[in-house]
Each structure stands twice: as C-alpha cells, then as structure tokens.
Amino acid sequence: MLSSRTSRPILRGVSRGLSLASKRGGARQMSTFLDEYDAIVEERAAMGGGFGVPPPPLDASQTSRVIEELKESPNKRLEDLLVHRVPPGVDDAAYVKATWLSALATGKESNESISRAMATELLGTMQGGYNVATLVELLKDPDASIAGLAADQLCHTLLVFDGFYDVEALAKEGNAHAHKVLESWAAAEWYLKKPEVAKEMTATVFKVTGETNTDDLSPAQDAWSRPDIPLHALAMLKNTRDGISPEVDGEIGPLSQLKELKEKGHPLAYVGDVVGTGSSRKSATNSVLWHMGDDIPYVPNMRGGGLCLGGKIAPIFYNTMEDSGALPIELKVDDMNMGDVITVHPHDGVVTAEDGSVITDFKLKTNVILDEVRAGGRIPLIIGRGITSKARVALGRDEAVDDVFNMPEPPSGPKPKGYTLAQKMVGRAIGLKEGEGVVPEQYCEPKMTTVGSQDTTGPMTRDELKSLACLGFSADLVMQSFCHTAAYPKPVDVVTHHTLPDFIMNRGGVSLRPGDGIIHSWLNRMLIPDTVGTGGDSHTRFPIGISFPAGSGLVAFGAATGTMPLDMPESVLVRFKGEMQPGITLRDLVQAIPYTAEKMGLLTTEKKGKKNIFSGRILEIEGDVVNNLKCEQAFELSDASAERSAAGCTIKLDKEPIIEYLNSNIVMLKWMISEGYGDARTLERRIARMEDWLANPVLMEADEQAEYTEIIEIDLNELKEPVLALPNDPDASALLSDVAGTKVDEVFIGSCMTNIGHFRAAGKLLADAAKPIPTRLWVAPPTKMDEAQLTEEGYYSTFGVAGARTEMPGCSLCMGNQARVAPGCTTVSTSTRNFPNRLGQGANVFLSSAELAAISSIEGELPSVETYMKYMEQIDPTDENIYRYLNFDELPDFVKSADAVEISEEMKKAAKELDLA
C-alpha cells in the first residue's frame, strides 16, 4: 500500500533528477527503457551550470514502455516512475496509466508487482478524469475490501464532474460504499484531513528591491520553455540587478544565491517592493514556487505553497499565487533584507524578527485565503466547496458549508445609490436583476462568455486543462492564437503549432493559425456587448464588455467551468472633456492617464512605497470624445489599462459603432467557417448571438450616482503636444518638449496597440521622406487581413522603399521573445510596455503613437513639437482614407464567402438559450 508519507522521499529523489538505481541496493534489473531514461536524467542534471533540473514527466509513449516492461518482470524503479512521474488528470500519459491500472484494479489483467488493491490506490492518486469511472465502478465490486478502497480514493478526489451523479445514484440504490463517499464529501474530509495553516511560518528572506515584473521572473526570450517548469525556472532573475547575482548574466539566474540562503535551513520567502507587474503569465509564479515552494505528491515537476511578500503585488500575479496555494501578503517590506530570518504569523497578522520583535503588521486580503492555502489553492477550494455543498443536498441536508469553511464576507455598508458600468456587466453575468450591480469587495463567480489563450501561455493552459480533467469547454467561446511564436518558431513551438489547435477544437474551442495575427485583434471581433470574459494574456481588455485577464490556471478554470472567481474590484473613472487638439492622437490620451494621475499625486514612479490608484481596480473611461470612437480605436484605450495594473476596463461607447462592428464581425466569422476554421458549431453559435443582439441593440450604462474610488478628469483642450512613456517604465510620462532631440536608433510600429489606420498614417508620412531613413524601422501589422489590405493599397511598397523591415503579422518585437532591437539602443515603439530588457538587452525604449514613431524614424531623433506639428499637417485625423477600418461586410471576397454559410437552427436555438440564461 502507498501513502504520501512513504512516497515523499522517492518524490524528492526523482525531483532532483537523480538516478534511483543506487538507492535501491543491489544490481539494477535490466531495462532498455531505463538505459535511455538515465541518459535523459544525466543530460538534465548538467543543466543550469551543473545545478541540474529533473527529467520531464513521462509522455504517453514512455509510459507505455514502462508498463510493457513491468508486464514482463517486476522492477521497483519502473514502478516508482509510473507512480510519480506521470502527470495526473487527462494528459495522454495519464490515459495510458489509467487504462492499465483500471485493467488491474478490475481484475481484467494481473501483474506480479501491482496488485488489485495497489492499482486501485494508484488510481486514487490521479486527481480526476480518466480514473473516475473505474473507481465508481469498483464501488460495486464483490470484494468488499476493493470496494472500500475505491471509496477511500473517491473521498479525496475532487475532479469527478458527472461522476458525482453516478456516485449519488449508487448511494440511492443502497450501495454502502457510495454512501460513504457522499458522507465524506459532505463532511469535507478532503479538506479537513489536510494540515491546518501553521500559526508560525519561519522563512529566509529573498529580497528583490524595486519592481519585479513578470519579465524578470519569466523572461520572454525563454518563453519556449515555460511548460517545462524547472527548466524555465533557471532563467528567473537572470539579469544582474541590485542585490541579485546571476550564475551567468542574461542566461541563468542566481542559483548559488538561492542555494546559500536555503542552507540556513528554512524555506525562502520572495520579498519585494513591487512584485509581479506586467504580463499575466503564470510561469512567473511557477518559477518562484519552483525555487521556494513544496513538492506536490504525484504531480511531477510542479510545486505549490510558499510565501510572497510585497509592498505592492500586482493583481494578476497575486491571483496566480493564490491559485497555486501560496500565501501572498501585501505589507511594508522596508525593514526586511536579503538573508534575514523572519516569522510570519498568518493568523495574527504580524511578522517578527529572529529576536521576536515585530517588524511589521498586515491584514490578509480576504478571510478566505487561509482556506485556499490549506486546500492547495483557490481552484481546489472552489471545486471542493462545491462538491461538499452538492453532497449535502444529495443527502437531504442544507447546502450551506459555512460550518467548515470561511465563506466570503458580504460587503459592508449601505447599498450604493447607483452602479458603475462594470458593476452592472458583472451583475448580469451572475444573474442579478437587470440594472443591479455587484459592489466592490463582493465575491462572485461571473459567467465567462469569451475566453482567450495565446501561444506562449497556451501550452501551460493546456496542461492546466488536463490537470482539471477537462474534456469539453463550458465557456461559450474559447479561442487560441499563435501570435507570439509564429514569426520565429523554435522546434518546440512548431510542435505546439501542430498539436494545440486540435486540443482546443476537440473541446469545442476556436483555433487560429500561425500567421493569422494578434490574439486581441481577432478575439475582439468575437465579443458580445456587455458580457464578461478572461484571457491568458494581460492585454485581454475588451473594448465592448469587460474582461479580467488571468494566469493560465484561472483561464483554464474559466474555460472548463464557464465561470471565474472574482472579488469585485473598486472602480476609478477617467473622464475626458473638451476637444482633441491638432496633432494629438489617441495614444496621447492613453499616456495622458498616468501623466495626469502623477500630477494629482495618485501615481508615483518610485518603486519603494509606490502609489498607483489604478492597481487592482477597474479603469472605467468615458467622455464625449470617447463615445463615438470605433471599436478598434476604443481598444487602444482599454488595452493600455494593463500597463496601469488595472484589474479590468470598460469604455462607454455609443451603440452605432458597436452595430457597425458586429455587422462586420458576423461576415468575418462566416468567412472563417468557409475557410475551415473550427470549431464551426462554436462560431455558428457566436454569430447567432451577435445577430440576436443586433435585433435589439441595447447597451448598459453607468448610473449617474455611481460611486468611484477616484474620478480623474482630463481636459483635452489643455493637451497640446504628444505624451510619451519614458524608458523603461510605462507609468513614467513626459511631454514631447521634455525629451525632444533625443537620438533614436530604432523604431517599431506594431503590436495590439495598433490598427490599420496607424499603418496608413505612417506610410503617408514615410512616402515623402528622404531615403534611406536614418533609423532601423520595424513594421508588423496586427492581422493578415490588415497586411493584405495594406499591400493592396500600396503601403507595403512605401515601407519597402523606406527600408523598413516588415514582419509577419503578430506580436513581433512587443514581447521580446522573437526578433529584438540592438543591445543598448534607443528605440521609439508603439508596443504595449517597455520594461527593462524587454525589447532588447539594455535598450532604452520610449512608447509613443504610430505617428510620432514614424516621424522619429524619419528624423533620427525625437522631434521638436514644432517639427512634429509640421509633419502632422499631412495627417487629418478625420480622413477616412487613412483612419478607415476593416469592415468585412464591405469587402466583396469576404461577403461572397459569408453568403455561402448557413447558421443551423440548432445553434440559433442554443444562442437564444444562452442569451436568456
């Protein structure tokens, strides 16, 4: 019989990537597979400058070979690999493992070393998915010991899904073992048998001063290795910075430093002034926890738990820590230094030094977070609470579970006099009465209507979906893109391009193709107004509706279950008034938000004691100049809410641009069906929902008496020159006149912050420029449709004559994992963010509008305001020949393809049912 206590020494040995032959005593049994496997172990042990990483989990082929050799003769080491090195859930290897164990457990096969009982117990280590049906079937086994053992395994298995109803049915038929399972679930034994959160957590401080962004923890250049958690973790903090000494600067992180601190005998706590800003990548959390977390029994190459302490912790990073079973705490960290030994008292809200003196105090963000830590993460807690509640109902009891769990506290204070736009959208998504909203701090689980995934987080989302035992999406539309790796794919990316589309489509999702372009430019065209969604990219910021971007674990949960946990954030209102002045662009309005907030004392760029009014809150934007924006333009504003560390964003738009957008998008989606994109049924259903909305185009609006944490008014009459983000901080802003004359080496026009109008404007400015231009110019339109239209209109010829390097439609330089600017150069970019080393090693990157970027490429420097305005006389912001967007319902080829597509009555009916729900 196995137990977690006896398995952990084995697990620790394997997790270090060591051969276990010497640990078993005596000569090793002959095994062709182990000879090959040991070569992998040896190769991985040499990585990281000799620090080593464990071998990858077994794949389906390797698992099959292990099983075939075990069928031939007993081999203790092969048994250990089968037990500990196969991923749980619905991984392909898990299917192979579960199939054989099921055959053994049911007696259809026998094995010399794995008995029926052992096979049953091993099925119980696989968390859910392929093991559940067999365990439920074994509840009826004539051998009472086997049936009882199967019940024991189900008692701690949460990912049973429809298997719950099979257990319930057996219990109603009088099956005592099934009744035992229901009673165990109802009593929350799966939770109560886990150790309580310790009253004291002693740890050694690993202090990273200043701001740690997710690029520091999970560098974009190493994105290809993100699914391989221990290998990717070698790159954490690989760039030299104050107090951090990498093994190899720019390549391998501070492994010796980490090792030395661990030798003090305590776990490490990650401590920083500002932690986790930037992208939503869960790989950043995975890397921290690989170095500072705990092994998870029967889950290879993944760790949970751990402490993360920050003066400010970015909301998405906080959530990914929460989801991983770690304990993130916001508190004052000024008096904590590298190597200090501290004790965190989570129940008392204080941190003490070695001598017992109090360093600081704190308040946990929610009353539920210690339950999350005990359960192994927020997602297991949510699923487990749900099973406990369902089991109680099945047994004829009250569904309440507050006798065991700390339930989210209802918001305090009187009911608000009015609701914001975001509060109403979320209110509808949880089924509140029309016009009602969700108030700040209220816990809810809104319906996820649209979920997006991109290719550098997609493989992690795939693995999370497997661990959740997901074989079909519950969210109405899940879309996968390949925009971050298509242009310069590494071998592992090529494999992803070939395998991930089927994985997504087989579960009812929509998959784009490499070369199609940026996730957001496509996903935005699949949106339903006033609905809620999420995405595994921090720039999943819907211009219509609202999204709450998340790490891959929460995105997988949203896709699989169709809902997402949310502690409703507060809102900050930004209201633009006045008229846009000559030469001012929407990108200047974007940067005017942090510029104005800093002037008001609501935002600081100093990282120690940083203030950021937007962090963790919803940014809600309105104003006369905003209301009539096209949806493509509105996204430029919502997209940049990511750089404010906002939880989400809403834009108040009139219905006319949305009607125009949806009419265009219906044609595009029909064209996708005609081109063979799948899942076709999902696309049909989304088209039908769009058509239903167009039949009654009503938009939500904020109430006049809605309450906001802060209202920031920006007078456009006073904004008379461009505003840029300074190197290398998207919050640090300056007027053009403050930085004019700065020499510029390279210019990038691209990213999700651009649309086809920006490229026409740049092309018009470049057309009359002296050739060759004095800078290196990069051009990357967001989608292949933009590229085709710009080529047809002659702009690609203009870019070529100017000497521009035109990139495949997609993210290009923006993330820094593909092509990069020259080390140490000065760059003007239209990309989303400009963290240190992101676009190029040591590069100084200004963020600006496409128009200013184009002018800088011509001038070789940031121009004076006078020079800029002279160029801008060539650009009329109301000129529809320039700022004209892709309306597919006006493009003959798309219309012709769309006309051939019929929407089935079945999908029309399904759409209406979803709308009514």
Burial class of residue 62 (count of CB atoms within 10 Å of its CB; 0-12, 13-18, 19+)? buried
- 510: three-class secondary structure by DSSP: strand
Q: CA 809, CA 486: separation in Å to the nearest integer? A: 9
Q: CA 85, CA 437: separation in Å to the nearest integer? A: 47
Residue 5 has pLDDT above 60, yes or no: no
- Residue 155's pLDDT is 98
* Nearest Cα to Cα of residue 331 among 320, 348, 339, 323: 348
Q: What is the mean pLDDT of residues 713-734?
A: 97
Helix runs in 208-306, H state only: 214-217, 229-233, 255-262, 282-292
Residue 385 has pLDDT above 50, yes or no: yes
Residue 27 has pLDDT above 60, yes or no: no
* Nearest Cα to Cα of residue 141 among 159, 158, 117, 157: 117
- Residue 281's pLDDT is 84
Q: What is the mean pLDDT of residues 547-554?
A: 95
Residue 217 has pLDDT above 90, yes or no: yes
Residue 693 has pLDDT above 50, yes or no: yes
* Tens-place pLDDT, residues 354-367: 999 999 999 999 99
CA 455, 730, 548, 380 dihedral sign is positive
Please name the residue that has the structure tokens 């200047």: 588
Which two tokens mark 374? 């005990």
Task: Identify any residues that bridge with 177 across adjacent strands, giving them in sequence order.
Answer: none
Rg (CA), the chain: 28
Residue 49 has pLDDT above 70, yes or no: yes
Burial class of residue 646 (count of CB atoms within 10 Å of its CB; 0-12, 13-18, 19+)? buried
Q: CA 278, CA 645: separation in Å to the nearest integer? A: 7
Report yes or no: 211 and 607 within 8 Å, Cβ to Cβ.
yes
Residue 594 has pLDDT above 80, yes or no: yes
Burial class of residue 344 (count of CB atoms within 10 Å of its CB; 0-12, 13-18, 19+)? buried
Q: CA 863, CA 872: separation in Å to the nearest integer? A: 12
| 117 contacts: CB under 8 Å, gap ≥ 6 | 1, 145, 146, 149
Name the pLDDT band for 699 (thresholds 50, 70, 90): very high
Which two tokens mark 102? 């099921």
CA 364, 367, 373, 376 dihedral sign is negative
Residue 897 has pLDDT above 70, yes or no: yes
pTM above 0.85, yes or no: yes
Q: CA 566, CA 552: separation in Å to the nearest integer? A: 15
Which two tokens mark 174? 């009088």
Which two tokens mark 179? 């009744």
Name the pLDDT band for 9 (thresholds 50, 70, 90): very low
- Residue 553's pLDDT is 93
Report yes or no: 583 and 721 within 8 Å, Cβ to Cβ.
yes
Residue 414 has pLDDT above 90, yes or no: no
* Nearest Cα to Cα of residue 811 among 550, 455, 396: 455
Please name the residue that has the structure tokens 């298997």: 163
* Tens-place pLDDT, residues 130-189: 999 999 999 999 999 999 999 999 999 999 999 999 999 999 999 999 999 999 999 999
Q: What is the mean pLDDT of residues 272-293?
A: 94
Q: Which of 4-8, 120-124, 553-557 is predicted with the least confidence, judged by mean pLDDT? A: 4-8
Q: At what angle do helices 378-394 and 176-186 cross, to 10 degrees?
A: 130
Q: CA 60, CA 337: separation in Å to the nearest integer? A: 46
Residue 412 has pLDDT above 50, yes or no: yes
Work out whether strand 566-567 and strand 443-444 pair parallel, antiparallel, or are unpaired: antiparallel
What one-character-per-residue DSSP string does 877-890 give? TT-TTTS----GGG
Domains plus CATH for the chain? Answer: 39-187 (1.25.40.310), 201-365+367-375 (3.20.19.10), 445-568 (3.30.499.10), 722-886 (3.30.499.10)
Work out whether strand 450-453 and strand 571-577 pair parallel, antiparallel, or are unpaired: unpaired
CA 101, 106, 111, 117 dihedral sign is positive
Q: What is the mean pLDDT of residues 747-756?
A: 97
Half-sphere exposure (Cβ direction) of 496: Cα atoms closer than 13 Å? 29
Q: CA 870, CA 184: separation in Å to the nearest integer? A: 75
Q: CA 584, CA 521: separation in Å to the nearest integer? A: 24
Which amino acid is residue 323, in one-letter code? D
- Residue 120's pLDDT is 98
* Tens-place pLDDT, residues 849-858: 999 999 999 9
Q: CA 279, CA 56: separation in Å to the nearest integer? A: 26
Q: CA 197, CA 215: separation in Å to the nearest integer? A: 31
CA 440, 442, 443, 444 dihedral sign is negative
Name the pLDDT band for 29 (thresholds 50, 70, 90): low
Q: CA 207, CA 311: separation in Å to the nearest integer? A: 12
Which amino acid is residue 824, in one-letter code? G
Name the pLDDT band for 916 (thresholds 50, 70, 90): confident
Q: CA 226, CA 235: separation in Å to the nearest integer? A: 10
- Residue 22's pLDDT is 36
Quote the mean pLDDT of the chain. 94
Q: CA 581, CA 559: separation in Å to the nearest integer? A: 43
Which two tokens mark 686? 């989304």
Report yes or no: 338 and 313 within 8 Å, Cβ to Cβ.
no
Of residues 280 and 628, more confidence is placed in 628
Residue 76 has pLDDT above 70, yes or no: yes
Please name the residue that has the structure tokens 């065209």: 525
Which amino acid is residue 48, in one-letter code? G
Please name the residue that has the structure tokens 């595994």: 536
- Residue 8's pLDDT is 31
* Nearest Cα to Cα of residue 573 among 443, 411, 425, 702: 702
* Tens-place pLDDT, residues 324-383: 999 999 999 999 999 999 999 999 999 999 999 999 999 999 999 999 999 999 999 999
